């Protein structure tokens, strides 16, 4: 099997995508980003994709706030298949993944979440951690299933909560941990795919 390739879905400036792209550029990722897709037309990550020479595409999300329309998700599946990707990486994608994508890439969609799952699922989990008064939190790379932040955990990094932490300072340290953890776990997952010798989609 040649080097696995992946598609990236995201909604924002793309700091986790940058970490992945830089790892690929440095030859340490073990897999290749083939396409970047965003539900936000002027997302920073589309500009980043251009800078790294990776095709970037905008898909209009449709009328819903927290998910893609079925037509939009079907378009994303088509774009991912046209790019020949083996798996999908979510990098700040702010919508719930539904059946078209889950069926197209079963057990092959990765996400990073800013807490030590199963603790603090959902939005602004660093703020949830602060409000709960825990002494540590972190980030988790997991597979995406039909639930919200409920899929198989692939790896975690721990981040201490400091006495003077604000939501902003804690989130910044969690993001720094994410930028180390995500490329490492994507590399591990790509190696798992290589060993199973599963065909491209």
pLDDT at 2 (0 to 100): 78
pLDDT at 196 (0 to 100): 82
pLDDT at 201 (0 to 100): 46
pLDDT at 195 (0 to 100): 87
- Domain residue ranges in the chain: 5-196
Could you list the beta-strand ranges (E) of the chain.
Answer: 5-10, 32-38, 56-58, 87-90, 109-113, 136-143, 153-160
pLDDT at 173 (0 to 100): 97
pTM of the model: 0.94
Question: Which fold would CATH assign to domain 5-196?
Answer: Rossmann fold (3.40.50)
User: pLDDT per position in the chain (201 positions), as tens?
Assistant: 578 999 999 999 999 999 999 999 999 999 999 999 999 999 999 999 999 999 999 999 999 988 999 999 999 999 999 999 999 999 999 999 998 999 999 999 999 999 999 999 988 999 999 999 999 999 999 999 998 889 999 999 999 999 999 999 999 999 999 999 999 999 999 999 988 865 554
- Report the C-alpha gap between 125 and 73 in whole angstroms: 26
- Per DSSP, 90 falls in state E
- Report the C-alpha gap between 185 and 91 in whole angstroms: 13
pLDDT at 55 (0 to 100): 97
* Catalytic residue ranges: 113
């Amino acid at each position: 099997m040649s080097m696995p390739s992946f598609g990236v879905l995201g909604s924002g400036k793309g700091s986790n995508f940058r970490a992945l792209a830089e790892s690929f550029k440095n030859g340490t990722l073990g897999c290749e980003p083939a396409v970047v897709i965003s539900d936000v037309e002027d997302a920073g990550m589309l500009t980043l994709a251009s800078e790294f020479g990776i095709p970037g595409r905008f898909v209009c999300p449709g009328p819903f706030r927290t998910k893609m329309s079925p037509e939009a998700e079907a378009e994303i599946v088509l774009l991912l298949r046209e790019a020949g990707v083996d798996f999908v990486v979510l990098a700040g994608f702010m919508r719930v993944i539904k059946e078209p994508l889950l069926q197209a890439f079963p057990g092959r969609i990765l996400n990073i979440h800013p807490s030590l799952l199963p603790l603090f699922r959902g939005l602004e989990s660093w703020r949830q951690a602060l409000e709960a008064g825990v002494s540590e939190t972190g980030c988790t790379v997991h597979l995406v299933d039909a639930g919200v932040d409920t899929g198989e955990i692939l790896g975690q990094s721990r981040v201490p909560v400091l006495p003077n932490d604000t939501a902003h300072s804690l989130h910044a340290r969690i993001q720094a941990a994410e930028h180390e953890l995500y490329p490492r776990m994507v590399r591990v997952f790509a190696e798992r795919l290589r060993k199973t010798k599963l065909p491209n989609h």
